[in-house]
Structure 1
Amino acid sequence: MFMNERADDNVWDTLYNTAVEMAAEFDIEPVVPRQVRRQQNRANYQMVDPKQYWKVSLYFVFLDHLIGELQSRLIDSEGRFLGELLLPSRLQDLSDLTTTAIYDAFSADLTDRQAYDQEIKRWRASNNKIHGMIIIMS
């Protein structure tokens, strides 16, 4: 959705016009910051039009950062969300495929695949015993 909005000029036009209207209430006119030949502390976009300057220097930078964070924290880390299947109440949903996906997602933190597999077996066995005891007691 954000990538589509980034490509849609109407979204930027609406945001910019709203900002200009809000600034006008305080007698602030849109301007481009002073340009220098050698800029060290911020990007030095060579633009004269304030609308284009703020689009490139603020809007695109913000959206690109937001899209990158969403990508790295949610989409690229999808395997890490499978870790919730290791909760005792969710162990029955754990399959060999998801066990492998969880190991792959956390492989940097785990030292030995065989030890991991043995631990999963122990968790399943103890969970089955507890689950069986609950059924008998009911």
Structure 2
Amino acid sequence: MSDTCEHLAYEIDAATRIITVVYIGALTDDEIVAFYAKLVEQHTDAPTYDYLIDMRYTDWLATPDAIAGIDAVYSRIGSDYRRHVAIVRKNAVTTNKLQENVLRQGLKDRVIRYFTDITLARSWLMERER
């Protein structure tokens, strides 16, 4: 994994075009947005990859401000790619309806699916047509 800050790490698989991001411990919205801004700055093709978001090691929940910030980072790139995002949580209870609604607000450029098993999440991303 490539670290960009204390609580976030990523790995890019160019062959499958999947970026795995691991959220660890206590996180702030600003830290999340800064992480994605740096990721896109360092890897300009990042907006054309799918994402496996591993949130099993944090209790952080996305807020409208964080999602708006992440969307602003990706919209500056101008990609029309519809990203597929697999989100893995410790259990289904940690992904409540309010959280789902916050994450689905910008669905014009992403498809989101929730998992409790990282292997199933990766399989879902790998099985879709490229």
Larger Rg: 1
Greater share of helix:
1
**TM-score (ref. length: structure 1):** 0.20
Greater share of strand:
2
**TM-score (ref. length: structure 2):** 0.21
Which one scores higher on RCO, CA 8 angstroms, separation ≥ 6? 2
